[in-house]
Chains A and B, each alone.
Chain A
């Protein structure tokens, strides 16, 4: 898919500066098998024993009011969105 569609930015194309950064990565040779390199990945994993409870929590009314006030377009308390979804 073209970058402008992927990014939802008109006329988007790759930049010279960013391409330069990527070329450094392309040339680099990660030492995946070297001792110690696998450990950090394990360190960044979150334990399933420590996840928050899977339950719905009611949002305070003030938050709901502000969320509604932030609607870019509103009608009778509802968020107005463009009518046509083309694909």
Chain B
């Protein structure tokens, strides 16, 4: 699909639409949407900025490519002066004191945030049902979950309520909802985009990333948000992806792709998704690509390693939420009693489950048996990726074992929800760039490259759209 950003930019420049009209239209769509994707609408904030863009245009001034483009922000990012709840009850009245670096970079380029989007509370979930704002609904079928945790963001993009949205991906939270709503979603290389101003879930895998209907827009947004940031010591330098990447000829014959046997032989994989994935493999081989089936860890090891580490990190990160300095406070006779009451009442069951699990693995006696072992497994998983990428250029895989479930059907089965992340969490542990492309299977496919090789993903994703 052509770039939505470029299309709207042309319309704004030609005067066929006004920025104020565009922003008003998006706000109205979000307000009236039955999909429950908006935690907070930023009408006044956005319209003020839109008026400035219209003024510039009326005075004949040039505008930048992103100037006046309305976008959505997952409600785990801080935007100065606006609500930032993390879709949790404990932060429902919280106002962000500063703006996240990634969002600031988009705003510096002129893009206009119009909505703080519904998501699983603190990113804890794969269905967007674990939210203090109620579940968001799938863009293609409102009876189904939109995926999570960035469910509201993916739905808004799919329905055109935002031109693009910025999600957050810790173990698949951009890629899985992108697949469930048939749009593109990129988890970049860990550290490529600053996490400053993103509410921390599991800091060692948390990533900022764009969701869009257009591959070109994903490229533009990645380039805009990337770069080192003094506020986030894990950020890395990276080169921009050039605009002509999509016009370069794809090598085709001789290009080496890998896919994991354990992913395809997983007994929980939906037969339709397996069939479509294997048909894609055959198609790619017919095109002359060298496709190799590779051995890898079983998905239960990947899921368990990820959740052990993520729970340990979230237990530490969310310890700050006690109602003392900000957020909702419940008063009690003693300080400790106040902490416990505040956290017990305001955290969701899933958030509590993860905090308790995290404290369990970090406690004396369990740390060696579980936490340190999970860290060793992570090292081993990362080592395996390094070896695999000596043999292949990219790895492709399904996004999810099954199609989106019905709303309400998975909330009482946390283990099933954890296992549904089987195909996304491994790449998070490796810090690898992975794109969900909405082609190939019912929930799309994932394309994974070595660290900082996003340009190879873009080339292959474009090639795929030409052969499917």
The interface of chain A, by Cβ under 8 A from chain B, is: 1, 3-4, 6-18, 20-22, 24-26, 28, 30-32, 34, 36-41, 43-44, 46, 50-52, 62-63, 66-67, 69-73, 79, 81-82, 84-86
Contacts and interface: CB of A to CB of B under 8 A. Distances in A.
Given A7-B352, A24-B303, A25-B374, 13 more contacts: A7-B356, A7-B359, A9-B347, A15-B414, A18-B357, A21-B415, A28-B373, A30-B380, A32-B376, A40-B379, A51-B233, A52-B233, A62-B80
A72 B326 contact: yes
Nearest to A4: B340
A82 B342 CA distance: 13
B326 A21 contact: no
A22 B335 contact: no
Nearest to B344: A10
Contact of A25 (B305, B338, B418): B305
B326 A3 contact: no
A10 B338 CA distance: 11
Of residues B234, B336, B347, B361, which shows the largest number of chain A Cβ atoms within 10 Å of its Cβ? B336
Interface stretch (B9-17, B109-117, B122-130, B382-390): B382-390
B377 interface: yes
A36 B418 CA distance: 28
A86 B334 contact: yes
A11 to B, nearest CB: 8
B356 A30 contact: no
Given A7-B315, A28-B377, A63 B356 contact: no
Interface in B290-338: 300-301, 303-305, 307-308, 311, 315, 319, 322-329, 331-336, 338
Contacts of B322: 8
Contacts of B370: 22, 25-26
A51 B230 CA distance: 8
Given A22-B370, A34-B380, A52 B356 contact: no
Q: Is the interface of B mostly helix, strand, loop or mixed?
A: helix
Contact of B418 (A21, A52, A79): A21
Range class of the B interface residue count:
35 or more
B224 interface: no
A32 B303 CA distance: 19
B94 interface: yes
B274 to A, nearest CB: 23
A9 B307 CA distance: 20
Nearest to B91: A70
A70 B94 contact: yes
A69 B204 CA distance: 31
A84 B333 CA distance: 8
Contacts of B300: 24
A4 B307 CA distance: 20
Nearest to B377: A30
Interface string B224-267: 00000010011000000000000000000000000000000000
A25 B279 CA distance: 34
15 contacts: A3-B363, A6-B359, A7-B352, A9-B343, A13-B356, A14-B360, A18-B353, A25-B304, A26-B370, A26-B373, A30-B380, A39-B383, A66-B81, A67-B326, A71-B326
A28 B415 CA distance: 18
A59 B153 CA distance: 31
B96 A66 contact: yes
B97 interface: yes
B213 to A, nearest CB: 34
A22 B326 contact: no
Nearest to A83: B335
B380 A37 contact: yes
Contact of A46 (B234, B340, B341, B374): B234
B325 A79 contact: yes
A15 B356 contact: yes
A77 B341 CA distance: 26
A61 to B, nearest CB: 11
